[in-house]
């Protein structure tokens, strides 16, 4: 069945993660996505060779696309690109700062030439002036610059988030903005320019700690698998060594937790633990009591009590555990080296199974696209 974006043409001069994430989700929706690559290909093709000899990141982010190798400095390929853009609905680029303007394909000029075109510029810091607007930016650099590392890790050590959070968040925000722009174009007939940056994406994620700092004048604590504003909200060990993350967010859950899990109803009225604020102020006492009790139970016994009390919890799993998790949804995509089972898109439409298009080899559709869009 055709997807909701069937009939849309997306042209993307992309590399790495953020822009490919955006265009991948548009392809999942049924759009035709032509991925423009340099002669050496998107450098994410070489991140590793773990998936039938191919890069795990590339397989994940490039299903359902067509690959065309292009040299945007060559006049012949510039002409080809303009022919593509004259038919395109969306143009995406995430080259190094200034590179696309020097090549003559800046977003404002393109929208002036093709008024219905929606342009997407993805950068590290956005158009904020030098030096940041001219700085190259990768995911871990932005995690450090945005302050998110300062709230991630243990009290003794800052850490990065273990996945490409800045890139993925930017692709997600840009995806939403493109869909909004397409909807607006239905009413106005005109495209618009979408600007997305890795730094702004992380700054949005950091709104809570920032407000905490600016209005509460208190630092946001870095407490590993704990929560700075709620107790208990963290990982506790059972006697078999397994860790379970217990999340108590309100007073009703705390009372059920005391009655059914801890078997300590007195803690509901103890002034050190009776309220949310008291539990945070007396974190060592409260967490010590909990750890002393969970440490006498097996994981299964603890989970049984948590279910009886209707207290939210989750196992602290490994990637190996995720691989066999019953809630994990998958989709199979084709590659030239064989089919690959990957995580399914996070959202889907009721009654419809997700479908993943094939992952292209470098310039796999190049000859056909050049013929289709010949002068």
Where in the sequence numbering do the catalytic residues fall? Answer: 227
Measure the CA–CA gap between 59 and 335, rounded to whole angstroms.
8
First to last CA, the chain: 32
* DSSP labels, 223-283: -SSS-SS-SSEEEEE-TTS-EEEEE--SHHHHHHIIIIII--GGGGT-TTTSSHHHHHHTH
Helices of type H across the chain: 18-28, 56-61, 75-87, 99-102, 107-113, 139-146, 165-188, 198-205, 207-216, 251-256, 276-281, 283-294, 299-308, 319-323, 366-372
Task: Give kind and range of the element (H or E) at residue 13.
Answer: strand 9-13
Contacts 24+ apart (CB under 8 A), 45-48: 45/362
Measure the CA–CA gap between 341 and 344, rounded to whole angstroms.
9
Token digits for 138? Answer: 């990768």
User: By three-state DSSP, how is residue 91 classified?
Assistant: strand
């Amino acid at each position: 069945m055709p997807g909701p974006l069937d009939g849309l043409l997306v042209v993307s001069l992309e590399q790495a993660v953020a822009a490919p994430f955006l265009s991948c989700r548009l392809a999942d929706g049924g759009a035709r996505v032509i991925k423009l690559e340099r002669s050496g290909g998107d450098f994410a093709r070489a991140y590793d060779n773990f998936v039938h000899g191919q890069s795990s990141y590339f397989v994940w982010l490039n299903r359902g696309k067509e690959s065309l190798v292009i040299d945007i400095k060559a006049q012949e390929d510039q002409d080809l690109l303009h022919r593509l853009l004259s038919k395109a609905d969306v143009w995406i680029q995430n080259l190094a700062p200034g590179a696309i303007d020097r090549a003559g394909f800046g977003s404002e000029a393109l929208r002036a030439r093709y008024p219905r075109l929606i342009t997407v510029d993805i950068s590290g810091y956005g158009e904020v002036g030098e030096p940041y607007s001219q700085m190259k930016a990768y995911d871990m650099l932005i995690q450090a610059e945005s302050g998110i590392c300062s709230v991630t890790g243990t009290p003794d050590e800052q850490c990065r988030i273990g996945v490409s959070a800045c890139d993925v968040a930017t692709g997600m925000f840009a995806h939403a903005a493109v869909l909004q722009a397409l909807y607006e174009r239905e009413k106005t007939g005109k495209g618009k320019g979408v600007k997305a940056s890795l730094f702004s994406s992380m700054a949005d994620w950091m709104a809570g700690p920032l407000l905490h700092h600016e209005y509460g004048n208190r630092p946001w604590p870095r407490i590993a698998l704990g929560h700075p504003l709620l107790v208990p909200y963290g990982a506790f060990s059972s006697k078999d060594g397994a860790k379970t993350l217990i999340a108590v967010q309100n007073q009703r859950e705390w009372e059920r937790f005391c009655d059914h899990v801890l078997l300590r109803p007195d803690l509901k009225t103890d002034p050190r633990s009776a309220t949310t604020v008291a539990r945070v102020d007396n974190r060592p006492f409260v967490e010590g009591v909990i750890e002393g009790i969970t440490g006498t139970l097996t994981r299964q016994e603890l989970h049984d009590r948590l279910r009886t009390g209707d207290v939210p919890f989750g196992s602290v799993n490994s990637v190996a555990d995720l691989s066999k998790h019953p809630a994990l949804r998958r989709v199979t995509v084709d590659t030239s080296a064989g089919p690959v089972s990957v995580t399914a898109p996070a959202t889907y439409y009721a009654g419809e199974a997700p479908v993943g298009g094939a992952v292209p080899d470098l310039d796999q559709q190049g000859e056909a696209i050049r013929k289709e869009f010949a002068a």
